[in-house]
Structure 1
Amino acid sequence: MYKYAPTNVVKYYASYKEIAMISTTTREVRLRSYLTSIQMHCKEIIRLGNIKDGGWEVCNDIRFRPRHPCLVYSFGINWDWGFDEDVVKTYDCEVHSFDPSMTYSGKRPNIHFHRIGLINKRNLYDFKRKWNMTTLDDIRTILDNGARKIDILKIDIEWDEWIVLPNIIKSGVLKYVTQILIELHSPGNLERMKTVRSLYSEGFRIFWYHRNHFCRRNKAYIEYSICFEVCFVRI
């Protein structure tokens, strides 16, 4: 049996009303505490991709590991194909890689590149960045993956995760997702706290986290990380 331990942080967020009553400073502290808490014990964790920045941890336990024919969505590539290639080598999955900032016409076995970004509205064109964007639910429809399970959903999109997550949760897509690997940025505000609480309500538990020390900020002459690579499984 898989056991998870709701932390005091999660217990504290019994309702959105209670979250709204927390001060801004406390929200930041609580969010950091939450993102660095292990809620679910994964017996075997493997790292796929770069050993430094760019790699991700995957729960390889029988209950959660991808099985052929498996499906993986990888948002945010930045020319680092290490994770996507390791997914193919390890699990023989069909991988769809997304990055609107890249132009790529090469071929990699079982990896399909899409020059499109993830956002909270369908068919949105970002004129400032000149990017084509759309929702996760729309992407599943376009790729005819509507009835398929997404074994791993990786999201590394530099702050935009807080824009897209509420839409993903509301769309109901997460019921098809087994693992979420995502880079989350702090500080916390009310909406971000609600989003994290909603992920918990959807059944996602943290089995691994990593402070990304390539993403730092100075405050009161103390340097600290503001990026957390957080890995979830749906129990």
Structure 2
Amino acid sequence: MDFTAKAEEKSDDSHVFCPIPALRSGEQFRNFLTTVEIPCDNVTTFGGPPRGKKGSSKNVCLDGRFDVIPGRCVVFSFGINHDWSFEDEMAEFGCKVFAYDPTMDVESHQRSPNLQFFSTGISNYNGTKVIGMGKNWKERKVDRFENLVKEAGMEGRPIDVVKLDVELSELDFLQDMLFNSRHVLGSIKQLAMEIHSHFRIPSKVAGRRNSL
């Protein structure tokens, strides 16, 4: 067997053309965050006041092209921190919601007919990781997004919304999706993601940018 040929073949397969140039400065990053590239005519806010905390809401585009249909839509949500407003409202809208947060010391359970909770965190590997909130940091269970989708029985199905409010663990998620699970990334219609940055972003723009 020609192992060299096999290695070269694998290397060739790993090259994927990406038309988006790499960011080379903080200014480029700021411009990316503040530029609306895909406008939405029907932006709907889920979560936040009065049921939840300020800052816990996420915008979802309900334009027809995204086909977010009650009774058929699927949502994966990471990072609850005892504020269920986004997840409850998406479930009440008619979506099947899978929610994850290992930091609340709450066991996995069925919160409502459309909302199932798992005490697992998101990462780029299956195992444990020291994560937490405030002073409550300890070793907790984490797993890859692709594995969680399979466990939820949603493999191969379109995923309408993925919410990430996970205090930098979104970097693990993005790294894993871009390098290991591009086929799963392609099934996600919208990402509602908290981005950690020292740049101040106008609230009007931030509200429009958090659904990608």
Q: Deviations over 1:64-120 (max 9, x none)?
A: 142122210000000111011111222x11100000102335632311000000001
Say if 2:74 is the partner of 1:76. no
Letter in 2 for 1:183: E
What is the rounded CA distance, in whole Å, between the counterparts of 1:101 and 1:14 in structure 2?
Answer: 35
> What is the percent sequence identity of the aligned residues?
27
Letter in 2 for 1:36: T
Q: Could you tell me which residue of structure 2 aligns to residue 210 of structure 1?
A: 206
Letter in 2 for 1:48: F
Letter in 2 for 1:210: A
Structure 1 residues 98, 14: closer, same or farther in 2, change over 3 A? closer
Aligned match of 1:174 in 177, 181, 185? 185
Structure 1: which 5+ runs fail to align?
1-12, 189-207, 212-227
Structure 2: which 5+ runs fail to align?
1-18, 131-136
Could you tell me how far 1:155 is from its partner in structure 2? 0.7
Aligned match of 2:96 in 94, 97, 110? 94
Letter in 2 for 1:71: V
Could you tell me how far 1:162 is from its partner in structure 2? 1.6
Say if 2:29 is the partner of 1:31. yes
TM-score (norm 1): 0.68
Q: Could you tell me which residue of structure 2 aligns to residue 47 of structure 1?
A: 45
Q: Could you tell me which residue of structure 2 aligns to residue 144 of structure 1?
A: 153
- Equivalent pairs counted in the alignment come to 175
Letter in 2 for 1:73: F
Could you tell me how far 1:33 is from its partner in structure 2? 1.5
Could you tell me how far 1:163 is from its partner in structure 2? 2.3
Q: Deviations over 1:136-195 (max 9, x none)?
A: 01111222211211110111101121222121122121111111100111259xxxxxxx
Could you tell me how far 1:28 is from its partner in structure 2? 1.6
Q: Could you tell me which residue of structure 2 aligns to residue 112 of structure 1?
A: 116
CA contact (8 A) 2:78 2:101 kept: yes
CA contact (8 A) 1:182 1:229 kept: no
| Secondary structure of residue in 2 paired with 1:54 | coil
Off by >2 Å, runs of 4+ in structure 1: 13-16, 103-109
Q: Could you tell me which residue of structure 2 aligns to residue 231 of structure 1?
A: 211
Structure 1 residues 111, 38: closer, same or farther in 2, change over 3 A? same
Between Structure 1 and Structure 2, whose CA radius of gyration is higher? 2
What is the rounded CA distance, in whole Å, between the counterparts of 2:91 and 2:63 in structure 1?
Answer: 17
What is the rounded CA distance, in whole Å, between the counterparts of 1:62 and 1:99 in structure 2?
Answer: 31
Q: What do you get for the CA RMSD once the two structures are aligned?
A: 2.3
What is the rounded CA distance, in whole Å, between the counterparts of 2:20 and 2:139 in structure 1?
Answer: 41
What is the rounded CA distance, in whole Å, between the counterparts of 2:59 and 2:106 in structure 1?
Answer: 26
TM-score (norm 2): 0.75
Structure 1 residues 58, 186: closer, same or farther in 2, change over 3 A? same
What is the rounded CA distance, in whole Å, between the counterparts of 1:168 and 1:79 in structure 2?
Answer: 27
